[in-house]
Chain A
Amino acid sequence: MSKLASINEFVIKFANVNGSGSASANQMIAKGIFRSGIPVSPKNIFPSNIQGLPTWFEIRASEKGYLGRKAGIDFMVAMNPQSYIQDVAEINPGGYLLYDSSWKREFHREDINIIEVPLTSLCVDEFQNPKTRLLFKNLVYVGALSYLMSIKKDIFIELIEEQFKGKEKLIAPNVQALEMGFNYAKKHLVDACDIKVNQKNLTDGMILTNGNNAGGLGCVYGGATVCAWYPITPSTSLAESYKKYCDQFRVDEKTGKNKFAFVQAEDELASIGMAIGANWNGARAFTATSGPGISLMTEFVGLAYFAEIPVVIFNIQRGGPSTGMPTRTQQSDILSCAYASHGDTKHVMLIPSDPKECFEFAAESFDISDRLQTPVFVLSDLDIGMNDWTCPEFEWDDAREFDRGKVLSKDDLDKMESWGRYLDADGDGIPFRTLPGTHPEKGAYFTRGSSHDEYARYVEDGEINARNLSRILKKFEGAHKFLPKPIFKQDINASSKGLIYFGSTEAAMQESLDQLSASGFPIDAMRVRSFPFSAEVWDFIDQHEFVFLVEQNRDAQMKTLMLSEGNINPEKFISVLSFDGAPITADFISESIIEIMSDKDTSKTAEEIK
């Protein structure tokens, strides 16, 4: 039988039962490979369930740095009889299946290599307590894999020691389970596996973390003092991360009191209301949610837009519509955020593509929101938010100061002859605001969502209202100055074809572009990072004959947004859409594009198309 052979390029997948304690063992494998200096992208594929249903954990390791999801599994650790059939079918020819051979099975595939480890029997012989037996089973396969793939055992021992810091008693039995697996493989499974990890230093200066952890941390660094949220997958861990880092960094040493507020609201109507209330008072505040929460928040978003109150909203997108696929990923709230709320509204969006950008955009979002006095959406998704990514370390410049925008102090007010809350004093559409309690006689006004004039007085004069709406639009049109610019995958355009993508698609893009080039279809690519779009975005579209728009939604929402905001011939856009809830793959992008290009240019050779 042929055996797949590969060094530092493979996909390993674990099929487990939800709630069986497998998560930390699988995580350990991912970290083990990462600490071997090989970039990894672990992905949790889990049901909307707490215990009992199948869950999967997929790790792609790639020294080339290709970290998008890849269909087809090279090594399957099948721990869940419930999903055996499906799991076995997924294995690439020549690939490997490791299963718990305490109960022998037939798998009816001649083209794969079956690796038998009697995990349960080994644990039953060694450990007394039935509950711990179940947990140790997971470590036994970690040990076996350590041997099979040549991942240094010491790395795992170190990871166990770190994990049980403070509960030292647990270290020995965990190491024992690990050794059991290792020794069993060493004795019985010599040369069973040709997929190997070969130590490198490609992860120096890199971290392995998820976007929600990074986003919560970014909020702490960005000076957010209030987090009001309501639990919803996949955003919950962002709020929790904020709390975790606040507990570390924001508790006054002397008084023991908090320099932050963390409020689990009764629903999303309240969480956004609280965030708006705090920002109205000049305390940086945010909420984190996902699609259903966004729907509930839209009325308040319109108020913040029209009354010009900063607020930051993290939308960790999941599969929609409605409750949809709460534990799967999509980029399907582009339009519902860009135009959230009734009436003429448009909102600033930041679209991070990895945890590092989640950190940076989170911190920046507060400056942008304060500067523009408007809601800012940070549009992440489940793939970035909940999966660990190999990404560069976080950075912070200590000289950086928060931009709190145009807020008048008592002194400012004292010097001013007159002031109007909604006056365009600087000609940039951004008015000056005051915070409650600043001055005993000046600067108080009535914030309202009903039509108002430059002095915040209630008016029903259509002309005044139109003037105000136009000023808000002007402010929006100047917003791109404060937003992250698009990123280009090439220094200069080399192709007549362009490709636009955004967000978590980044993980698959370099691989796809390399595949396209190798197939004779080189393409210029641009990653959009914010809305409203800047001139660079329009120029890129202008400069290409046609443009592929890669999105993880059904309706080509980014295309709709670009068509509605820019002066573009719709014929120019060709959509590549993936919306099955799994992170998009390079193969899917490349194959779709090659198919379209071959169709489009049947008369030309690949060389001519270039």
Chain B
Amino acid sequence: MTYIIKPVNHHPNLEKNALGLTRRDYEGTISTLCAGCGHDSISAAVIEACYDLSLASDQIAKLSGIGCSSKSPSYFLNQAHGFNSVHGRMPSVATGANLGNQDLLYLGVSGDGDTAGIGIGQFMHAARRQLNITYIVENNGTYGLTKGQFSATNDQGSKSKYGEENVLAPIDLAAMAIQLGAGFVGRSFSGDKDQLVPLLKAAMKFKGFSLIDIISPCVTFNNHVGSTKSYDHIREHNESVSSLDFVPIGQEIKTSYNEGSKVDVPLHDGAILTLEKLSKKYNPLDKGLAVQSLNEAEKNGKVLTGLLYINPEIKDHAEILNISDTPLNQFSDKELCPGSNKLAKVNASLN
């Protein structure tokens, strides 16, 4: 937000993080979404995760497409630059932004229409490129902003508010991202903060493409009986594959897990992700198994949540392109312009 200096009234006793900031410092403008919209819970979870990680908001860029979901970056992190781009095309803007300055933390916020419909090509290519972004899909199975049409993630047989049945099979963005080589793929539910916040924190610390597909019910158009993206339906069919703890560098792992069910995954900066596998069969480092489990769950009408897949060895887009460690937007004229002597050589090569 551009600024007009105004006094900040914080409650003196609000808890502070390592940067001396309170949760309120991570807030955005007041939401204009419908009361009860899942997207608002996700904004709250983002605030929580950034607060917990003591992130500096100004080092975060939040980008989105178009939709109710894509509006939500306004509702968190006031001190972060935001970019509400065009429908379905946030991934390319984020890719360019990242090329310009890979030092910022990129938070992409999109909807299921934005990502699985108009923007599916860009989504797939961003995943394939290992764009270093935390890509959040606020998935409600519907086009909220245009008033309730089916989206491509809507389940076959699910009913619209007006009783119409969806006849097409859904696109599973998580399975697709895993197959495209995304390094971090999770699924969660806007109503499950305990699962969502650690997942977000881990995703933000992950270097590479991290997708979190978050089921986020649309209370106005897709929260009725017969919809498979309603609060009730998700609560009943949610099956968590893992519970997750994010341990920043230098901190000890405090949580104790049952021997044998624990997996430690070291991240790029030395932080550690500790996972408790809730199902013996599941291993989030196994790509094939992850895809297979997602397919099976879909068949059984279950929604698998948690960290579905992680590949900590991935290189991100900037590394793949061998881009200098100094961000490209920070070079001086002299460092970029080859000058007249070199031009004389070019001239000599052209006559």
Chain A contact residues, CB within 8 Å of chain B:
34-35, 203, 206-209, 213, 217, 220-223, 225-226, 228, 245, 248-250, 252, 255-263, 265-267, 269-283, 285, 299-300, 303, 393-398, 401-402, 417-421, 434-450, 454-458
Contacts and interface: CB of A to CB of B under 8 A. Distances in A.
B30 interface: no
Contacts of A454: 2
Contacts of B350: 207-209, 213
Interface stretch (B84-92, B150-158, B216-224, B254-262): B84-92
A270 B95 contact: yes
Contact of B122 (A255, A269, A444): A269
A104 B269 CA distance: 75
A260 B328 contact: yes
A235 to B, nearest CB: 18
A395 B342 CA distance: 11
B18 interface: no
Closest 9 CB pairs of A and B: A277-B96, A273-B92, A283-B100, A281-B100, A274-B96, A436-B81, A277-B93, A278-B96, A207-B350
Interface stretch (B225-233, B270-278, B330-338): B330-338
B351 A208 contact: yes
Nearest to B96: A277
B254 to A, nearest CB: 31
B3 A442 contact: yes
A273 B96 contact: yes
Contacts of A455: 1-4
Contact of B5 (A394, A418, A444): A418
Given A259-B331, A266-B122, A440-B79, A221 B338 contact: yes
B88 to A, nearest CB: 8
Interface string B70-85: 0001100011111111
B328 A226 contact: yes
B323 interface: yes
Given A223-B336, A395-B340, A402-B336, 14 more contacts: A209-B350, A220-B337, A221-B337, A249-B338, A257-B325, A270-B95, A273-B122, A277-B98, A283-B101, A283-B328, A436-B81, A445-B81, A446-B83, A456-B2
A396 B125 contact: no
B163 interface: no
Nearest to B83: A447
27 contacts: A208-B351, A220-B336, A221-B338, A225-B328, A225-B336, A261-B321, A261-B323, A269-B92, A273-B96, A274-B96, A274-B99, A277-B94, A278-B96, A278-B329, A279-B100, A280-B83, A300-B89, A394-B343, A436-B80, A439-B58, A441-B58, A443-B3, A444-B79, A444-B82, A446-B73, A449-B84, A458-B74
Contact of A259 (B92, B104, B336): B336
Nearest to B82: A446
Contacts of A276: 85, 93, 96
Nearest to A417: B5
- Counting contact residues on chain B (CB < 8 A from A), the size range is 35 or more
Contacts, number: 251
Nearest to A275: B96
A444 B1 contact: yes
Most buried by B among A248, A278, A458: A278
A422 to B, nearest CB: 8
A213 B335 CA distance: 21
Contacts of A265: 92, 125
B13 interface: no
Interface string B89-132: 10111111111110110000000000000000110010000000
Most buried by A among B83, B96, B347: B96
B58 A277 contact: no
A274 B83 CA distance: 13
A394 B83 contact: no
Given A273-B96, A445-B82, A257 B101 contact: no
Contacts of B338: 220-221, 245, 249-250
Nearest to A256: B322
B27 to A, nearest CB: 13
A285 B104 contact: no
Contacts of B5: 417-418
A478 B322 CA distance: 40
B9 interface: no
B122 A225 contact: no
A438 B101 CA distance: 12
A299 B88 CA distance: 12
B171 interface: no
B85 A419 contact: no
A438 B58 contact: yes
B86 A299 contact: yes
B62 to A, nearest CB: 9
Given A228-B96, A280-B100, A396-B340, A300 B329 contact: no
Nearest to B321: A261
B14 interface: no
A436 B61 contact: yes
A419 B5 CA distance: 9
A54 B268 CA distance: 56
A262 B336 contact: no
B351 to A, nearest CB: 5
Contacts of B86: 273, 299-300, 303, 449
Contacts of A274: 92-93, 95-96, 99
A207 B329 contact: no
B324 interface: yes
B80 A444 contact: yes
A225 B100 contact: yes
A300 B194 CA distance: 38
A434 to B, nearest CB: 8
B57 A444 contact: yes
B339 interface: yes
